[in-house]
């Protein structure tokens, strides 16, 4: 019975981690309310998640706010660039969809391939913004090249994001309350243990 109330046992640690992921998702949602700050909020989300993977998170609110404040300008610039690219790709896919009467099938499939690379790029750009300080151009370049060089692992990260979102939307909606935190934590596991060590980015 004493072990049940031991805050170091696996049950309490798991419940504590679930509570942390809920709080982290809440902070991300609040920080993303003005659309222009979603980049800074997502960067802060990954900043905390990467620390959680290494058990270095400390006070989640303080860590989140520290990253949010320090990366606001850079992350906002990256977010605007990525948002513009995503909107252009989305528009291109919509107007070139086979049967829509604009363009041809080859153009659509070409855009679809570009969209896949865009999603891979988007998946890494904010975690790298949380970890590195190389300016907007440097972060865009590094995140793209890292996504290309680690294609299979980034594919796993993208698929895991889709699976979590789909489970929350179609199967168990309360999962959405933890969704952003869960996705960032899963990505953090891959980044900390697989990708970052290749480039000494864990130091």
104-123 confidence digits (pLDDT tens): 678 889 999 999 999 999 99
Instruction: Give the model's pLDDT for residue 104.
Output: 64
Q: Is residue 4 situated within a structural domain?
A: no
**For residue 48, which of 13, 17, 15, 73 has the smallest C-alpha distance?**
17
Q: Is residue 3 situated within a structural domain?
A: no
CB-based contact 23:52 (threshold 8 Å): no
Give the pLDDT band (50/70/90) at residue 72: very high
Mean pLDDT rounded to a whole number for the chain: 91
Number of domains in the chain: 1
Half-sphere exposure of 168 (CA within 13 A, CB side): 16
How distant, in Å, are the alpha carbons of 57, 79, 105, 126 from that of 87?
A: 34, 12, 20, 18
CB-based contact 39:67 (threshold 8 Å): no
Instruction: Give the model's pLDDT for residue 34.
Output: 86
Q: Is residue 50 situated within a structural domain?
A: yes
- Domain of residue 192 covers 10-199
CB-based contact 126:46 (threshold 8 Å): yes
How distant, in Å, are the alpha carbons of 12, 20, 119, 181 from that of 17?
A: 9, 5, 28, 10
Q: Is residue 5 situated within a structural domain?
A: no
Give the pLDDT band (50/70/90) at residue 4: very low
């Amino acid at each position: 019975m004493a072990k049940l109330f031991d805050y170091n046992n696996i049950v309490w640690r798991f419940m504590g981690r679930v509570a942390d992921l809920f709080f982290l998702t809440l902070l991300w949602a609040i920080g993303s309310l003005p659309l222009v700050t979603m980049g800074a909020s997502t960067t802060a989300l990954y900043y905390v998640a990467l620390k959680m993977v290494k058990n270095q998170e400390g006070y989640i609110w303080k860590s989140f706010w520290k990253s949010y404040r320090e990366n606001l300008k850079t992350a906002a610039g990256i977010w605007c660039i990525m948002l513009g690219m995503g909107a252009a790709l989305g528009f291109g896919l919509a107007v070139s969809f086979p049967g829509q009467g604009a363009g041809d099938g080859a153009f659509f499939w070409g855009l679809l391939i570009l969209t896949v690379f865009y999603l891979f790029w988007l998946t890494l750009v904010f975690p790298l913004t949380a970890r590195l300080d190389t300016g907007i151009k440097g972060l865009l370049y590094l995140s793209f090249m890292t996504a290309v060089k680690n294609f299979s692992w980034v594919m796993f990260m993208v698929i895991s994001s889709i699976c979590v979102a789909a489970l929350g939307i179609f199967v168990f909606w309360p999962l959405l309350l933890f969704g952003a935190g869960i996705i960032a934590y899963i990505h953090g596991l891959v980044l900390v243990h697989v990708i970052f060590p290749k480039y000494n980015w864990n130091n």
